Structure 1
Amino acid sequence: MFIKIICCLVLVSCLVSINAFKFPLDIERCSAGDTDCIVRVSNTFIEAAGKSGHSGIALIPIDPLHIPSITIKQGADSPVNIELQFKEVDLIGLSDCRFSRITGFQKDPNGKYSLACKGPALYLVGPYKISGRVLVLPIQGVGKSNITLVEPEITMTFDGKGIKRGNNEHLAIENAKLTFKVNRLIFDFQNLYNGDKVLGESTNRFLNENWSDIFKEIKANIFDAFTLIAENTLRNVFTKVPYSDLFAN
């Protein structure tokens, strides 16, 4: 009986914690469907909380956004036949991005969602390992890297579905997809060819001169990797915050 009582108390406390969520007072809320307000408030919030995160809505710091691992692997049938691994890297610059369009977020959570934003630059900085062939050039190296995405325009789409948690309805993300356009990519791979400075500099120069062709070949893998990152970041928020609590009405 004592164990049953303890279990009941634990269950009740869990339900209370689910149902007792209070939306933070320092974040402005818009009416459902008011896209102009949602864009404005989102931009203000990202500027203020992008680097610190916000525990009240389970948003982790996104600038820098720490990424434990990214792997880009192209098959032999591609002109860019590489295996490129990043470990414990940081994506820098998201807090400087601004939303230009946000759709969805109506009273009914079920439906199509889209978020589009632009920024001056994003920097993927940290350790890398690469091997393979880029166009006609064999390449291999292990060291530090900095890949700059100049003037990225990012679009994320997903299907929203309302799901019950306790007495509240939350937004679940399905069929997420992230794509982006860039004005330019700038590659800086240090310690290529075991530190051969001449070969390393000529290879980085070759990569930067041919960035557009390289991006066409690897962008699908990059999109898949960044989709998972964005999806997990948003899922943390939507899991904590009941859907109706996102809005003022």
Structure 2
Amino acid sequence: MHFLAYVIITIQLFGGLQCQKLPAKVKKCHFGDGKCLVESANALLRDFPKGIPEVDLKPFNVLSVRDWLLVNDSQVGGAWYYFNLINQINYGFENTTITEIRGFDKDPTTTKIEIHGKIPRLVYKGDYVAKGRMLWFVDIHSQGTSESDFLNFQFVLTLKVRVEYRNNKRYLKIYELVPNIRLDRWIMWLDNFFPDNEDLTIAVNNLFNRNWVEFWNELEPGILRLFETVFLSLFEDLFEKVPYDDLFLAAEDPK
């Protein structure tokens, strides 16, 4: 009997430790109050650019990005391409302005959740590996550093969620996140693209930047999947640690 009581107490203590709370400085809103949620989200971005370690909320100012195989054509024929981004770091999310939030009602599964925002400049820096063949006679075997600048980066995130219960608390689980992205300009530089010919490296980079819209249209599906993983990484830990109801005011609480 004493052993059973010990087990129950241990489980309760463990459950209490797993249930984290946001710092008091973070303003809470009523469910579905889009205006308040926008204000709170922008204040959080402004006040906590290095994240909130207590709830495992990642830093916004420097964010590691998973390695990403952006292009992987079949390596046959006169023209194919392989392009892999590795050791990438993202800069600029701390300058995000959230412009609209929809959903996040008492029952978050009954309405569409959307988050709208804009970032003046989003930068990716890291390494790349490229292989390929162009026009039957130019072989590509290069690796080096890469940098991408996305200027006036605007996004709409559409989330589909379900509710999970743990320790009699509701937690939000994202099972689908769809990003919609617009931008004014994409500037990219690939160092050492032709290791033995710096002039040709410069020419290829200039060609890309003059025709960035065409490259964006072709690469957009893979880029959107990459951004899906980036945005998910920002939300998932918070929703995993903090109960959904603890993110909001109770109905009877004033703002």
Shared topology, TM-score over 0.5?
yes
The residue correspondences of 1:12-161 to structure 2 (distance < 5 A) are: 12-19=12-19, 21-50=20-49, 52-75=50-73, 81-111=80-110, 112-132=112-132, 139-161=140-162
C-alpha displacement of 1:182 = 1.2
Note the alpha carbon deviations across 1:156-200, whole angstroms, 9 max, x for none.
Answer: 111121110111001111221112111111111101112521011
Structure 1 Cα separation of the partners of residues 127 and 235 of structure 2: 26
Partner of 2:228: 227
Structure 2 Cα separation of the partners of residues 53 and 122 of structure 1: 18
C-alpha displacement of 1:141 = 2.1
Partner of 1:165: 166
- Given that 1:91 and 1:125 are in contact with CA atoms closer than 8 Å, whether structure 2 keeps it comes out as yes
**AA paired with 1:113?**
I
Structure 1 Cα separation of the partners of residues 139 and 81 of structure 2: 9
Note the alpha carbon deviations across 1:59-94, whole angstroms, 9 max, x for none.
Answer: 1112111114122024369xx953221222111111
Q: How many residues align?
A: 245
**AA paired with 1:69?**
D
- Given that 2:21 and 2:55 are in contact with CA atoms closer than 8 Å, whether structure 1 keeps it comes out as no
TM-score (norm 2): 0.87
C-alpha displacement of 1:22 = 3.3
Partner of 1:243: 244
**AA paired with 1:206?**
L
Structure 2 Cα separation of the partners of residues 226 and 5 of structure 1: 48
TM-score (norm 1): 0.89
C-alpha displacement of 1:211 = 0.7
C-alpha displacement of 1:2 = 9.2
Structure 2 Cα separation of the partners of residues 124 and 157 of structure 1: 23
**AA paired with 2:244?**
Y
C-alpha displacement of 1:56 = 2.9
**AA paired with 1:106?**
D
Cα–Cα, structure 1 residues 138 and 187, in superposed 2: closer, same or farther, change >3 Å? farther
Q: Which runs of 5+ in 2 are unaligned?
A: 251-255
The alignment yields a C-alpha RMSD, in angstroms, of 2.5
C-alpha displacement of 1:131 = 2.1
Note the alpha carbon deviations across 1:125-166, whole angstroms, 9 max, x for none.
Answer: 011112236899865421111111111111211112111011
**AA paired with 1:107?**
K
Q: Percent same amino acid among aligned pairs?
A: 23
**AA paired with 1:193?**
F
114-123 or 131-140, larger mean C-alpha shift: 131-140
Q: Which runs of 5+ in 1 are unaligned?
A: none
Structure 1 Cα separation of the partners of residues 141 and 180 of structure 2: 28
109-118 or 202-211, larger mean C-alpha shift: 109-118
